[in-house]
Amino acid sequence: MRNILIIYGSSVGQIRKLAHRIKGYLKKDNVRLINVSQVTKLMVMKSDLILLGSSTWGSEDIKDDFESFSAAMDELMLKQKPVAVFGSGERRNYSEVFCQSVNLISERVVDYGGKLTGYGLKVDGEIELNIDKIETFVTSIQ
């Protein structure tokens, strides 16, 4: 049984709902969901797998509270640790920067020595319309 930490940054609730949906598929593991504003370095270091979720804000920014956590990530915290990244967005209105936070967070994970696992999940619009993508993402991190 793996200890999985799902860290999410959510203002309007979409990423929180997505994090809960992902947790529902990880029944064989010990999964802890936590808002990014409450996570500690020790929680990250004790986890076997970390999932990071954030929406994209503005022209291509990571959500503010997630930006603070992302800036605090360091090599000791993530060195050789498997990390998967997920996000949500609206391709129709923001096609140029659709789910750019997934790419930005993934780059930082690699910069700090983390090992990306699976693929970056990018959910377009309503979660319920993306169940196949979510299931494929969860399979990719098993």
Residues 63, 68: Cα–Cα separation, whole Å: 9
Number of domains the chain is built from? 1
Provide the 10 A C-beta neighbour count for residue 125. Answer: 14
pLDDT tens digits along 45-66: 899 999 999 877 655 556 666 7
Angle at 69 between CA 76 and CA 127, to 5 degrees: 115
pLDDT tens digits along 78-102: 888 999 999 877 656 655 656 778 8
Give the domain range for residue 71.
3-140
Average pLDDT over residues 68-86: 80
For residue 20, what is the domain's CATH number? 3.40.50.360
